[in-house]
Chains A and B, each alone.
Chain A
Amino acid sequence: MDALDPNDLQAVWLTLKLASVSTLLLLLIATPLAWWLAQSGKWYKGMVAAVVALPLVIPPTVLGFYLLLLMGPRGIVGELTVALNLGRLPFTFAGLVVGSVLFSLPFAVQPIQNAFEAIGKRPLEVAATLRASAWDRFLSVALPLARPGFLTAIILAFAHTVGEFGVVLMLGGNIPGETRVLSVAIYNHVEAMEYGAAHWLAGGMVLFSFVVLLGLYLAGSKFAKVVK
Chain B
Amino acid sequence: MSEIKAQFKLQLESFSLDAVFTAPSVGVTALFGQSGSGKTTLLRCIAGLEHAAGTLQVNGQTWQDAATFVPVHKRPLGYVFQEASLFPHLSVRANLEYGLKRIATAERKVPMEQVVEWLGLGRLIERGDPAKLSGGERQRVAIGRALLTSPRLLLMDEPLSALDHSSKQEILPYLERLHRELKIPVLYVSHSLDEVARLADRLVLMEHGRVIASGALGETLARLDLPTAHFDDAGAMVEAAVAQQDETYHLTRLDFAGGQLWVGKVDQPFGTLVRARVLARDVSIATHVPQGSSINNILTARIEEIRDEGPDKVIVRMKVGDAQMLLSRITRRSRDHLGLAIGLDVYAQVKSVALMA
Interface pairs (7), CB distance under 8 Å: A122-B83, A126-B81, A130-B73, A130-B98, A130-B149, A131-B73, A227-B88
Assuming the A-B contacts A125-B49, A228-B131, are A130 and B102 also in contact, with contact meaning beta carbons closer than 8 angstroms in the complex? yes
Which residue among A122, A126, A132, A133 has the maximum number of chain B CB atoms within 10 Å of its CB?
A: A126
Which residue among A128, A130, A137, A140 has the maximum number of chain B CB atoms within 10 Å of its CB?
A: A130
Assess whether B209 is interfacial by the CB under 8 Å rule.
no
Q: Which residues of B contact A151 (CB under 8 A)?
A: none
With both chains docked as a complex, state the minimum distance between the C-beta of B94 and any C-beta of chain A, in angstroms: 10
With both chains docked as a complex, state the minimum distance between the C-beta of B93 and any C-beta of chain A, in angstroms: 14
Which residue of chain A lies nearest to B44 when distances are taken between CB atoms in the complex?
Answer: A125
A130 with B146: CB separation less than 8 A: yes
The docked-state distance in angstroms from the alpha carbon of A145 to that of B99 is 18
The docked-state distance in angstroms from the alpha carbon of A147 to that of B88 is 12
Which residue among A132, A227, A228 has the maximum number of chain B CB atoms within 10 Å of its CB?
A: A132
The docked-state distance in angstroms from the alpha carbon of A126 to that of B89 is 14
**Which of A129, A132, A134, A145 interacts with B88 by CB under 8 Å?**
A145
**Which of B103, B131, B146 interacts with A129 by CB under 8 Å?**
B146
A136 with B102: CB separation less than 8 A: yes
Q: Which residues of A contact B171 (CB under 8 A)?
A: none
With both chains docked as a complex, state the minimum distance between the C-beta of A228 and any C-beta of chain B, in angstroms: 7
* Given A123-B85, A129-B99, A145-B89, 9 additional A-B pairs, CB 8 A: A122-B83, A125-B79, A127-B87, A131-B102, A132-B73, A134-B73, A145-B87, A147-B89, A227-B88
A129 with B47: CB separation less than 8 A: yes
Assess whether B78 is interfacial by the CB under 8 Å rule.
yes
With both chains docked as a complex, state the minimum distance between the C-beta of B100 and any C-beta of chain A, in angstroms: 9
A141 with B83: CB separation less than 8 A: no
Which residue of chain A lies nearest to B79 when distances are taken between CB atoms in the complex?
Answer: A129
The docked-state distance in angstroms from the alpha carbon of A129 to that of B103 is 12
With both chains docked as a complex, state the minimum distance between the C-beta of A224 and any C-beta of chain B, in angstroms: 12
Interface code B124-145, partner A: CB below 8 Å = 1, 0 otherwise? 0000000100000000000001
Assess whether A204 is interfacial by the CB under 8 Å rule.
no
Chain A: residues with Cβ within 8 Å of the partner, total of 21
A126 with B73: CB separation less than 8 A: no
Q: Which residues of A contact B26 (CB under 8 A)?
A: none
The docked-state distance in angstroms from the alpha carbon of A141 to that of B83 is 17
**Which of A123, A126, A131 interacts with B103 by CB under 8 Å?**
A131
The docked-state distance in angstroms from the alpha carbon of A126 to that of B71 is 13
B81 with A133: CB separation less than 8 A: no
**Which of B73, B89, B146 interacts with A128 by CB under 8 Å?**
B73
The docked-state distance in angstroms from the alpha carbon of A152 to that of B88 is 20
Q: Which residues of A contact B83 (CB under 8 A)?
A: 122
Assess whether B212 is interfacial by the CB under 8 Å rule.
no
Assess whether B346 is interfacial by the CB under 8 Å rule.
no
Q: 10 tightest CB-CB pairs across the interface, nearest first? A: A130-B99, A129-B79, A131-B102, A128-B72, A144-B89, A126-B85, A128-B73, A131-B73, A130-B98, A122-B85
Interface of chain B residues 91 through 114 with chain A (CB within 8 A): 98-99, 102-103
Assess whether B306 is interfacial by the CB under 8 Å rule.
no
The docked-state distance in angstroms from the alpha carbon of A213 to that of B71 is 44
Which residue of chain B lies nearest to A141 when distances are taken between CB atoms in the complex?
Answer: B87
Which residue of chain A lies nearest to B47 when distances are taken between CB atoms in the complex?
Answer: A129
A132 with B81: CB separation less than 8 A: no
